[in-house]
Each structure stands twice: as C-alpha cells, then as structure tokens.
Structure 1
Amino acid sequence: MEAIFYTYYNSPVGWLKLTSTPDSLWSVSFEEIQGENSSEIPQFLKESVQQLDEYFKGTRKEFKLKLAPEGTDFQQKIWKLVENVNYGQTASYLDISIQSGSEKNTRAVGLANGKNPIPIIIPCHRIIGSNGKLTGYAGGLERKRWLLLHEQQHSAYSDLLF
C-alpha cells in the first residue's frame, strides 16, 4: 500500500486538510480546526500548499498538480469537465450535463459535483444554477461566494452570474 500524507493549510476560507501520496493529491477537505500534520511532508504536498497559497494571493489561475481523486467513472468524467471551467468564469449544471452527453443528467451532475474530493483545485465552486444563482457547495455557500468573488477580482472576466 502506498504511503498517505496529510497537512493543514490555513486559507482565507478556513482550514484545509490536504491528503496525498508522495506524488498525487487525493483530497482537499474543509476543516473546523487544524489537526496534526504527517510526521513527514513530501515535496509534492509542499508544492500543493504553495500552489493553493498562490491561488489565494491571486497570482495563480491554474493548478499544475497530479490529481488522483477516487470516484466512479461518471464522477471522474464530470470532474474532468469541471476542471475545464476557466478561472473567473462559471458554468451551469446544465452546461456540464450537456457536455457530458445528456442534458437530462443535471441532477446526476450536481451529485457528482458534490462528491468532488478536491474542491478549489477541481473548481466545483464555479458550477452554478442555470438561473445564475449559487446552489449547493460542500464547503457551504459563503465559501462558494467568497471563491467566486476572489476569482472575479483577480480575473479579466467580470461577468460572473450570481
């Protein structure tokens, strides 16, 4: 079995726990308090924290990390489509559903988006309702709003719909 490492990062949206192998990110979770870091932190995990720090400073628009989220084939497909939504932009659940091959899949897209184990880096916060309203976010709507406004402030795009 491959070694698993974790570290905590105090972000503007609260504590984040990052879990990885020596060379790929498994998860980012929102935490209420800081826990204990692994006794050893591999360089890859340090780089993941560095890239998150740059994102929150507004200097990183795209993450360059090897990701290894666990999920069904359908979830993996949806997460790949969500990764294609550019920094500072949004897409609707319907947009992603159509891209996945069926506009009738909006509920399934929402469920898959909600199971995203690597929020922020796989930018599920950029997925909004067809009417432009913020809906559902595992980290809470206030975090979703904060992340979208943060990206809008640091982006050439200023037409976010929420």
Structure 2
Amino acid sequence: MIWPIVIICMLLAGIFYMRMTARAAKQENAPDTGLAILDFNRAFPDEAIRAIHATADGRSFFVRLHDGKAGFMQSQGAHYVCHLIEAGNVRVSNAPSGRGLSVHFTDFDYLDSVYEFRTAQHAAEVSLWLLGSFNPQSEFDDVPAASQ
C-alpha cells in the first residue's frame, strides 16, 4: 500500500526538478539589464545612463551616456566588466549578418569581437553611439528667438 505513494512522490519530485532546471536554463540566457546598470553605476557613479542595449546572447551591453560618451559592459560570471568609450577609441564595421557590429577597441584589444543584436535597428543605434556621431539636439534648438 505504501509503495504506490512512494512511487508517485518520486515521480512528482522528478517532474518538479525537471521543470525547475528548464526554468533556470531559460533565465540564464536572459540578459539581466538591472544588474548591468547597477554594476556600471558602481564603477562610474558620475555617469548617467540614457539608453542601454543588450547583445542577442545577453553577455554584453552597450550604454549611451548623458554627455555623448558610450559605455560597454561584458558579463564575467556574476558581475560585469565596465568600460567608458571615448569617441575615436573604437572602430566599428557592419557584421555580415546585418544585425551585428564588428567592434575593435583600441584601448581594450581583448574585447574585440562581433556583437550580434536582436534587431538591425539596435545595431545601427549602437554604432552611432560608438562613433560619437549621435546628436541629441532637436531641429528646434537652433531656432533664434524672435526679436521684439
């Protein structure tokens, strides 16, 4: 009488274990944007983040900062290695897939790689950040005030 109960409990425990490992594997691939932002702010407390884009694999993040600079974060276990990128210290070219960028960092050669993004629009936006050509001014900023 007790054996069927033991077998059913073991089957339920096995199903529960398989569901939990599948859920953990799914969450492992998801980029943790919140942790990346916290690590970047710990490394550079005076820099304000305006926008952030994760790569398709979730291991790297590119950051647009408030003063026109860009930042880069790469996952190293439970934390991120954070770098500030000045305009002119990086070379960017289009990756063959069209959704990625081939990036060469002149200061950090070990970070050179092809970074794939979820969409081609994210890749294009990040390339503008890295090249320092993103101009956040609107078309109305240069309108002179009317004289009275």
Bigger relative contact order, structure 1 or 2 (CA pairs below 8 A, ≥6 apart): 1
Structure with the greater alpha carbon radius of gyration: 2
TM value normalised by structure 1: 0.28
Normalized against structure 2, the TM-score is what? Answer: 0.30
